[in-house]
Each structure stands twice: as structure tokens, then as C-alpha cells.
């Protein structure tokens, strides 16, 4: 269990949730004077030149007399249209002039946010830019006189300066106001220092302003952004309100921990420059407020920084380590390190170096990532098989996927060893089960910052207390931790509930606990500093796990600055953008869309859209991984976008060379030793990484399995061919297609018999060789010690014995992988060899040989693969594609033999071959269609009708496939009526 880190002096407080910082102050340049001059000329032309030109060319637009009836009787001529157009131009000039006057007044008076001229959006924006450019150098120190004067007032009378006008003005012309923004920031900082001084007159006078959160009206809910817009003039200043009230106890006993989560009745202390009729100074000066609320405000005022004698932090997502829980004693022969011991055993570099056996250590230490990649790879290979078999792509390419080699083979073995599919299954069921339980109680999903997997238990860290969790969950170390014990997690079954927290992604391990950060819930950016190569390894691991994890449904993952070659992992999830500019444009549009959709649906956040009847794919998360460091201006824009991203289901992970990133809620650093540091959170993790070499190998595995690859893809040649003549009789023969039988060996009579049988089956299905760690991982998914693994290998070697020349039938190749001698054969090897010889060998030139080989092959088929395998064993088959290969191989054999018979009009023999193949491949549409044709060739309508009825019954509610239905229309036109009458 992780130990608590003693926070350093620098990390004694929560990390700052920084607001975007103003651009640094610079001296006026020659370009500034040019801009000011051009702005002056433009204003002169627009304000004086336009009306002068209109007066000279068109005259006054209004008629001299007011006679509406006479106007209506006049003919409509070109002159009439010109008069109307002239009048419209005069109106546009008057509107623009009003905009210039409004912007000039606002800029010179320092009110911060100018008034709006009705219907003058573009005109007012142009006027604002021109006025700003002119005043940047045209105004002297007198331009800032209101702010300077208010600085003294702030110290004397608790009114914060309103010199932040330039800072709060929309960023469309931030470059023209750099000096104004810097000066404003400096004055504001001086004023804040003056206010914070002991004995401040502001607090002595007791005129601090407060706001009470209003109850919802219909579907409208109060938010800090709207409060800031109403009372501070700019919604982006909501962070100032958040910082003033973060972690202070509210009247209902709860605390503000996330900007998007506020409740009616809460009290918010407001900045000194807040204005508006529904604000309350101090309750003594507000008799219209009820005595109860007055007392609440007095009590709340005592919880501020001035009362506590120090800062309260700024409201970033705080994550802590769950406390130690007593773990049950491990059962003999099992591990006690959670879902998968091998992953945890290799959490430290020392363990990785001593027992990785040449396999990539980062993947051995990433069980959830490895499980996701392994599952996605298996799905891709099956997809390639099916498309190849059913003609989904051009031409038949065969059923044998390419055998990996080199780094790709090592990575595949590392995935097999490190993967924890059981842990992924439990995590997925636990989260969905929690969502279903809360929905049944009509309770919303709590905001989850992080999850910890520790000793098999799942700890969820909440943004704020959310009451008692539903059974079998229980409270953890405090009210912000919900705990699910491993034994209780196994009680959950599969459910159709939407994935509640798809944005959870592994960052690394701390002692024996694995941290998963919920990227979409972090209130702000997550920054990652360190060298470019180290950052790239973290970004690749995060992207790969998000793209393939098993606890999410749909999501979009946008990669910028890296990962263009990662898209084969999940083409439907991953997308790559060329640069930060394209990212900002995309995310601004999506942020607006999601904010509007949430408002229209009446939801506070995406969490309320993932439970109950409101489930909808629009609430799928969108996670942005930006590896390239953004510019200062782009960083501010991203911080503004991320400010409200937590409730919108959008998360940002941004790389930086080492500088501070504005708006970062989490600041992390990756070291060259693979340590992920978050000093302000007291965390020091062994980072989850996917270095460049392993990343290339993973991509190679996926691209080789791509069903849309060219003709250089998989072929028909099996990886192992046997001698099918009488002289090729094997010494050991295992029957895997159907019930498991072994011929040529004495069956062990002790309790290790089942283990040896399973080990031999794994080796027979991998004639290319099996890594000892892969073998051990398959037999003992929860982990095993080296001595037990080595003892099994020696016992297996002794059981298989040696060939007549003294060669052991279980050997080791140059890479250390275990291989079987050619004298050890399975019926699957024989089946593959017979089909290959019939279709690509001697059977190609000899019809009689082809028929005999295909008949012999079909005789070997006795049922599904390892049909009688005991429950709980052979779980490694879920990672294999042989369960998909065997039915296709049997179907191809049956189809080839049926065609062989139909050529000679032996329809009954064809029907027998197809029925034999259907016993192993009952879901193959090709077999059913060919069986319909063969039955039709018998010229027996009743038999064909019975077959159609049987096929319809098997199809269930889905109905017949389109091609099968079309074939029935051809062979039995009245099949619908006939089948209905027969039924």
C-alpha cells in the first residue's frame, strides 16, 4: 500500500489554479506609432470623410416635407432606390459613430467593459480595435489616471481598482493593448498586496461584497461564469470568484471544490469591483436580507483568508493517496498483489531488469494498457480474417496472419505477459454497476478526479462529498473516497449502462497502487514537462490506452504534435491535427456546441447525460493530447477553453519544456529515470511509458493485421506443415478439434495433469515458439514465481520425452522460446496441411487427389476447438484468433468438397459435406447459402422448404441476411408463403 509523501515546504498548499496571465509590458515601438497613425486616419475618414462625401454627392437623405400619402402615390424609379440606399448608408455611419463614442468613453473612463450599441456587433468591434490602437500611444499616463486614483481608494476604502479594462477586453486586439494590460496587472497586484496587509482598512470597515447562489429557474441554473458576466463584466473572471471561495465551508456544510459544481443557497465572496443590484455588502448594511441569511453571511465571512491567517489554495484538482487497508492473506500458490501480480512485480526498475527476460519492461508494468492493446489487436486480426473469408476486400488473401518477428514478437509477448484482462473487466463492470445503482436511486454521478487500483480494491476520489455510496461500495478514508473491495467487485454482472468515466487513464504506480487520472474532469489544463523523448513516451502511452481501453464506449482523442502513426490502433477514435492553430479552431467550435447542447438538454454537466434515460453519444468525452508546447498566446486561449471543459467532457494534456503553463490545474514532470513527479500534489509515480521503439513495434503489429493492406498481407501457407503420408506418422498426436485427446503419451495421474495438458495445447497452437514468461502467464494469470515456472517446464520436458535419436521433444530456440519437435503433431496441424495440399499442392493437378484430401480433412473435424475444456482454464484462448480461424478453415474445406461433388452432380454428397462443416461453423453464411443450392439441386421442394424454415428459425429477430434472402427468392420464389403455411 502506498506511503504518504511528506509534502515539501513548496508543496504545503494546493497547486495554484492560475488564471491566464497578461502579456508582459513592453515599450512602445515604431510599429505602435504607425498603427496609431493609421487608426487615426481611418477614424477621420469614417467619421468625417463619409458624411462629407454623402452630403456632397447625395445630399441630405430625408425629404423636406412629411407627406406619406404623396410618397406612396409616386412611381418607383432608380432615384427612389438610390435615395433608400443613401439613407441606409447614413444610418450605418450614425451607428458606427455611436460605437466610437461608446468605446472612447469606456477607454478614457476606465470602466473596463463598454456598453453595447444595439445591432452593432461588427461595427462596434471595428470601432473598439481602432480606438484601442489609437489610445495605445495617443494616450499618455493620463489614460490610466482612473486606475491610479483608485489604487489609493482601494487602500483606503476597500474598492479594488478597475484598471483591468485592457486585461478584460476580448483578446482580438490584445497585441495593441500589451502595455495597458501590463500596467493594469501591476497596479492590481499592488492593490491586492495592500488589501492583504494586516489591519487592512477594507476588512476593518466590513464592506466586503457577497452573492447568494440563486435556485434554478426552469432549466436555467446559476453558474460562476454567468455571475462573473453579470457582476464583473467578463465571464472569464469567474476564476477570481472561485479562488476567493474555494474550500470554504458553506451554510450546508459542503465546500466549493470545482468551479462547475455550485449549489443554490451557497454564498460567494465577490471581488471588490463587483457591481449589481443583487449583491450584498455586509449584512448590517442590507436590512432587506433576512436575519437567517445575514447570520450565514457573517459566519461565512469568518472563513475567509483574513480569518484563517493564510491562503486557502486556488482550487485545482487535489489528488491524494488512499489509506492502507488490511489485505486478506494470500492463498497458497497465488499472489497478493491485486488483479495481476506480474505487472506489479515489475513496477520498479530493479524488478524489470532482473526478470523481464529481454521483453519490453514498460509493457510488462502496464497491465491495463497491455490488455487494451491485446484486445484491439485480436479484434483487428479477426476482422482481417472475416473480411478475407467473406470477400470484404479484393480477393481472398488467406487465413494465416503474419507471424511477428524481432521487436514486434517481443512486444507481442510482453502484451501477453503484462495484460490484465480480468482487471479491465472488473474495472469496467464496477464503474458501470455504480452508474446503474445511482441511476436506480435517481442520484447523479459524482465528479471523479482519479481512481486508484490498490491490492485489487478500487478507490474513487471524488471532487466533493457526494453522500453515502450505493452498496456494495463503501466510504473510504473520508467522504471524498468511495471504495469497492475486490471481492465485492466480482458480484457485478455485465450491464447496458453507458460507461460513466471513460476518460480515466493510467499515469503510473506509487508503491503498489496504480493511479488513473480522469482527464475529462480536471478543471483546467494538465501540463507535462520534461525532455521531448520522455514526454513523447508518456503521451504515446496515454493515447494508446485511451484508444483501446475496455472501460469506455465512444470517445474522440485528438493528437497534436505527435502520434500521426498511432491511428491504426483505433481509426474511429484517434485523429491527428497539424498544429495548435487548427486545434484551437476545432475546440472553440466544439466547446460552443457542447455548451449549447448541455443548456438545451437542461444538464449541469456531461455526467447527468450519461445516466438514466438521458444517455446519448453526444456526451462521449473529447480528450486533447498536445505534445508540442504552445505559444504564450495560444496557451492563454487553451486555458480559457479548459476553464469550463470539466463539465463539458473535454480534457487537455499539454506538453511544455519546463515553464509554467497558464491555467494548469495539474503540473507534472517526467524525469529521465521514468519518474512522474507532481510535487504540489505530493505524488511521485513510476510512470507508464510507451517508448519510441515499443511504439513502432506495436504499430507494426496493427498494420500487419490491417484488413485493408495490399497483397503482401497474410497468405494461405500454414506456419507448420506435416508429412501426411504413411511415413509421416507422428510420435505424439494430440486431438484438439473436438474433445482433447493425446495419443502416444502416458497420461499423468497426479493433480498436475490438467496443467501439463494446457501447456502442451498452447505450444501446439504456437509452432513458432512460446516465451517461458508467456507460458507461465497463460497458466497462472495471477502470477507465479520463477522456480514454479521452471519446474513446470522441466516436468513438461520429461513428460514429452525424446525422439529415437535422443533429441528432447521440447526444446529451446536461439531466442529462449520453447518449441516442439516435428514429431509432436496435432490434428489441427494435419487439417491445415491437408487443406493446403488439396488447394495449393498435389490436389491442384489431380481431381481424385483433391477429393481424397478434402474428405480426409473433413473427417478430422469432431467439433469446436478443445470442446471439453474445463471451466476456468484456457482463458488465454480469448487472446488467440484460432477460435475464428478454425471455423473458417472447416467452412472452406466443406465448401471445396461440396463444389467437388456438385461438379459431378452428386448433390447428396455435397449436402453431407456441408452439414459436417456446419457442425463446427454454424454461423457461416456461405455454408448455408451453398446448402440451399445443393438442396435445390436434389429437386425436392419439400426438403428445400424445410431447410428454409430451419434457417429462418435460426436467424431469430434479426431476420435472414440480405444475400440469403435474395438467394431464396431465386430458388424458392414463394418461400415466404410456403414457410408460413408450414410453420
Nearest to 649 by CA among 550, 519, 774: 519
Separation of first and last alpha carbons in the chain = 64
pLDDT at residue 309 above 60? no
CA 498, 503, 508, 514: dihedral to nearest 10 degrees?
Answer: -30
- Grid cell of 906 as nine digits: 452428386
Cβ contact 342:418 at 8 Å: yes
With beta carbons less than 8 A apart as the criterion, state whether 17 and 243 touch: yes
Query: CB-based contacts of 881: which residues, under 8 Å, 6+ apart?
Result: 378, 381, 382, 385, 401
> Strand pairing partners for 737?
865
- DSSP category for residue 45: I
Is 90 exceeded by the pLDDT of residue 931?
yes
Q: What is the mean pLDDT of the chain?
A: 77
User: 286 or 361: which carries more pLDDT confidence?
Assistant: 361
Examine the pLDDT at 740 and tell me if it is beyond 90.
yes
Residues facing 668 on adjacent strands: 528
Name which of 16-30, 161-175, 418-432 the model is least confident about: 161-175
Beta strands 622-626 and 650-656 are parallel
Which stretches within 580-685 are classed as H helix?
A: 580-601, 632-643, 645-648
Say if residue 203's pLDDT is above 60: no
* Under 8 Å between Cβ of 368 and 423: yes
**CB within 8 Å of 218: residues ≥ 6 apart:** none
pLDDT value at 901 more than 90: yes
Q: How far is CA 84 from CA 123, 268, 882, in A?
A: 21, 53, 80
pLDDT score recorded for residue 72: 57
- Of 402, 50, 26, whose CA–CA distance to 183 is shortest? 26
Whether 937 and 907 have beta carbons less than 8 Å apart is answered as yes
Phi, psi of 457, deg, nearest 5? -90, 150
Q: What is the sign of the dihedral through the CA atoms of 724, 726, 728 and 731? A: positive
Grid cell at residue 763? 505450444
pTM, to two decimals: 0.65
Grade residue 869 by pLDDT with cuts at 50, 70 and 90: confident
- pLDDT-derived band of residue 115, with 50, 70 and 90 as boundaries? low
Please report how the helices 367-389 and 421-440 are oriented relative to each other, as an axis angle in degrees rounded to 10: 100
pLDDT for position 791: 92
Yes or no: say if 877 and 378 are a contact pair by the CB < 8 Å rule: no
**529 Cα distance to chain centroid:** 21
User: What is the pLDDT confidence band of residue 478, given thresholds at 50, 70 and 90?
Assistant: confident
Could you please report the per-residue DSSP string of 269-283? E--TT---TT-BS-G
pLDDT digits (tens, 9 = 90+) for 555-573: 999 999 988 889 999 999 9
Residue 930 has pLDDT above 50, yes or no: yes
In tens, the pLDDT along 636-684 reads 899 888 888 888 889 999 999 876 788 788 889 999 999 999 887 778 9
Residue 830 corresponds to which cell in the numbers above? 494435419
pLDDT in tens, 168-199: 333 323 333 343 344 334 434 443 443 444 33
**Which pLDDT score is estimated for 481?**
93
Cα gap 948→883, rounded to integer Å = 28
In this structure, the chain runs to a length of: 983
Within 8 A by CB and 6+ apart from 613, the residues are none
CA distance 958 to 949: 15
Amino acid at each position: 500500500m502506498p506511503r504518504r509523501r511528506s509534502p515539501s515546504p513548496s508543496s504545503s498548499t494546493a497547486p495554484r489554479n492560475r488564471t491566464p496571465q497578461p502579456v508582459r509590458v513592453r515599450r512602445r515601438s515604431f510599429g505602435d506609432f504607425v498603427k496609431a497613425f493609421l487608426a487615426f486616419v481611418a477614424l477621420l475618414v469614417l467619421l468625417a470623410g463619409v458624411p462629407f462625401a454623402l452630403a456632397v454627392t447625395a445630399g441630405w437623405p430625408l425629404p423636406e416635407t412629411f407627406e406619406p400619402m404623396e410618397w406612396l402615390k409616386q412611381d418607383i424609379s432608380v432615384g427612389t432606390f438610390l435615395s433608400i440606399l443613401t439613407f441606409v448608408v447614413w444610418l450605418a455611419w450614425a451607428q458606427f459613430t455611436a460605437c466610437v463614442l461608446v468605446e472612447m468613453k469606456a477607454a478614457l473612463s476606465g470602466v473596463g467593459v463598454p456598453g453595447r450599441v444595439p445591432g452593432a456587433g461588427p461595427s462596434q468591434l471595428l470601432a473598439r480595435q481602432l480606438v484601442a490602437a489609437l489610445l495605445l500611444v495617443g494616450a499618455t499616463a493620463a489614460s490610466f489616471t482612473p486606475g491610479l486614483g483608485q489604487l489609493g481608494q482601494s487602500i483606503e476604502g476597500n474598492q479594488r481598482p478597475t484598471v483591468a479594462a485592457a486585461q478584460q477586453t476580448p483578446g482580438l486586439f490584445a497585441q495593441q493593448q500589451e502595455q495597458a494590460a501590463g500596467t493594469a496587472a501591476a497596479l492590481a497586484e499592488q492593490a491586492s498586496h495592500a488589501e492583504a496587509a494586516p489591519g487592512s482598512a477594507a476588512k476593518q470597515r466590513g464592506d466586503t461584497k457577497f452573492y447568494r447562489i440563486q435556485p434554478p429557474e426552469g432549466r436555467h441554473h446559476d453558474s460562476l461564469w454567468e455571475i462573473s458576466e453579470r457582476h464583473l463584466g467578463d465571464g472569464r473572471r469567474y476564476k477570481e470568484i472561485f479562488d476567493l471561495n474555494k474550500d470554504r465551508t458553506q451554510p450546508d456544510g459542503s465546500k466549493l471544490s470545482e468551479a462547475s459544481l455550485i449549489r443554490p443557497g451557497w454564498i460567494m465572496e465577490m471581488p471588490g469591483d463587483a457591481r449589481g443590484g443583487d449583491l450584498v455588502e455586509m449584512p448590517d448594511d442590507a436590512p432587506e436580507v433576512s436575519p437567517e441569511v445575514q447570520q450565514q453571511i457573517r459566519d461565512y465571512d469568518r472563513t475567509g483568508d483574513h480569518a484563517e491567517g493564510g491562503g486557502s489554495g486556488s482550487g485545482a484538482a487535489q489528488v491524494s493517496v488512499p489509506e492502507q487497508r488490511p489485505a486478506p492473506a494470500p492463498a497458497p500458490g497465488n499472489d497478493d498483489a491485486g488483479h495481476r501480480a506480474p505487472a506489479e512485480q515489475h513496477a520498479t526498475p530493479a524488478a524489470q531488469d532482473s526478470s523481464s527476460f529481454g521483453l519490453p519492461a514498460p509493457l510488462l508494468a502496464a497491465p491495463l494498457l497491455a490488455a487494451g492493446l491485446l484486445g484491439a489487436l485480436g479484434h483487428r486480426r479477426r476482422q482481417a480474417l472475416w473480411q478475407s473469408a467473406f470477400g470484404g476486400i479484393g480477393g481472398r488473401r488467406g487465413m494465416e496472419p503474419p507471424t511477428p518477428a524481432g521487436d514486434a514478437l517481443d512486444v507481442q509477448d510482453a502484451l501477453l505477459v503484462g495484460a490484465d484482462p480480468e482487471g479491465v473487466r472488473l474495472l469496467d463492470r464496477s464503474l458501470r454497476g455504480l452508474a446503474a445503482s445511482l441511476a436506480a436511486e435517481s442520484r447523479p454521478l459524482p465528479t471523479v478526479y482519479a481512481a486508484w487500483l490498490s491490492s485489487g480494491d478500487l478507490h474513487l476520489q471524488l471532487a466533493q462529498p457526494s453522500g453515502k455510496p450505493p452498496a456494495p461500495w463503501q466510504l473510504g478514508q473520508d467522504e471524498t473516497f468511495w471504495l469497492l473491495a475486490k471481492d465485492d467487485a466480482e458480484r457485478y454482472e455485465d450491464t447496458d449502462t453507458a460507461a460513466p468515466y471513460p476518460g480515466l487513464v493510467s499515469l503510473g504506480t506509487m508503491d503498489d497502487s496504480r493511479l488513473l487520472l480522469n482527464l475529462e474532469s480536471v478543471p483546467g489544463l494538465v501540463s507535462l514537462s520534461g525532455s521531448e523523448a520522455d514526454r513523447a513516451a508518456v503521451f504515446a502511452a496515454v493515447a494508446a490506452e485511451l484508444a483501446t481501453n475496455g472501460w469506455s464506449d465512444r470517445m474522440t482523442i485528438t493528437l497534436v504534435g505527435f502520434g500521426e502513426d498511432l491511428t491504426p490502433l483505433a481509426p474511429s477514435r484517434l485523429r491527428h491535427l497539424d498544429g495548435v492553430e487548427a486545434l484551437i479552431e476545432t475546440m472553440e467550435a466544439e466547446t460552443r456546441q457542447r455548451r449549447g447542447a448541455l443548456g438545451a438538454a437542461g444538464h449541469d454537466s456531461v455526467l447527468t447525460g450519461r445516466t438514466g434515460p438521458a444517455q446519448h453519444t453526444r456526451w462521449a468525452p473529447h480528450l486533447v493530447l498536445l505534445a508540442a508546447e504552445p505559444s504564450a498566446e495560444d496557451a492563454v486561449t487553451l486555458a480559457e477553453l479548459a476553464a469550463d471543459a470539466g463539465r463539458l467532457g473535454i480534457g487537455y494534456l499539454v506538453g511544455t519544456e519546463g515553464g509554467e503553463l497558464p491555467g494548469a490545474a495539474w503540473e507534472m514532470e517526467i524525469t529521465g529515470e521514468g519518474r512522474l513527479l507532481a510535487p504540489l500534489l505530493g505524488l511521485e509515480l513510476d510512470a507508464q511509458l510507451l517508448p519510441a521503439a515499443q511504439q513502432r513495434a506495436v504499430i507494426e503489429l496493427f498494420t500487419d493485421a490491417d484488413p485493408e493492406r495490399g497483397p503482401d498481407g497474410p497468405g494461405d501457407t500454414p506456419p507448420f506443415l506435416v508429412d501426411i503420408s504413411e511415413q509421416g506418422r507422428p510420435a505424439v498426436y494430440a486431438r484438439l478439434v473436438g474433445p482433447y485427446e493425446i495419443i502416444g503419451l502416458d497420461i499423468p495421474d497426479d493433480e498436475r495433469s490438467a496443467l501439463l495438458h494446457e501447456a502442451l495445447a498452447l505450444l501446439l497452437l504456437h509452432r513458432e515458439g512460446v516465451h517461458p514468461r508467456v507460458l507461465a502467464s497463460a497458466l497462472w494469470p495471477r502470477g507465479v514465481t520463477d522456480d514454479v515456472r521452471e519446474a513446470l517446464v522441466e516436468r513438461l520436458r520429461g513428460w514429452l520425452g525424446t525422439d529415437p535419436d535422443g533429441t528432447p521433444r521440447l526444446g529451446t530456440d536461439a531466442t529462449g522460446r520453447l518449441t516442439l519437435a516435428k514429431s509432436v503433431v496435432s490434428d489441427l496441424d494435419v487439417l491445415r496441411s491437408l487443406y493446403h495440399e488439396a488447394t495449393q499442392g498435389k490436389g491442384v493437378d489431380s481431381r481424385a487427389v483433391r477429393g481424397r484430401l478434402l474428405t480426409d480433412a473433413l473427417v478430422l473435424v469432431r467439433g469446436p476447438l478443445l470442446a471439453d475444456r474445463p471451466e476456468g482454464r484456457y482463458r488465454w484462448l480469448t487472446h488467440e484468433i484460432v477460435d475464428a480461424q478454425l471455423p473458417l478453415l472447416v467452412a472452406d474445406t466443406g465448401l471445396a468438397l461440396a463444389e467437388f461433388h456438385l461438379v459431378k452432380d452428386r448433390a447428396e454428397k455435397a449436402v453431407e459435406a456441408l452439414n459436417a462443416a456446419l457442425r463446427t461453423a454454424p454461423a457461416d453464411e456461405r455454408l448455408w447459402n451453398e446448402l440451399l443450392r445443393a438442396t435445390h439441386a436434389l429437386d425436392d421442394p419439400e426438403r428445400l422448404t424445410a431447410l428454409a424454415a430451419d434457417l429462418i428459425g435460426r436467424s431469430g429477430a434479426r431476420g435472414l441476411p440480405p444475400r440469403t434472402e435474395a438467394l431464396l427468392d431465386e430458388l424458392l420464389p414463394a418461400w415466404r408463403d410456403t414457410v408460413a403455411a408450414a410453420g
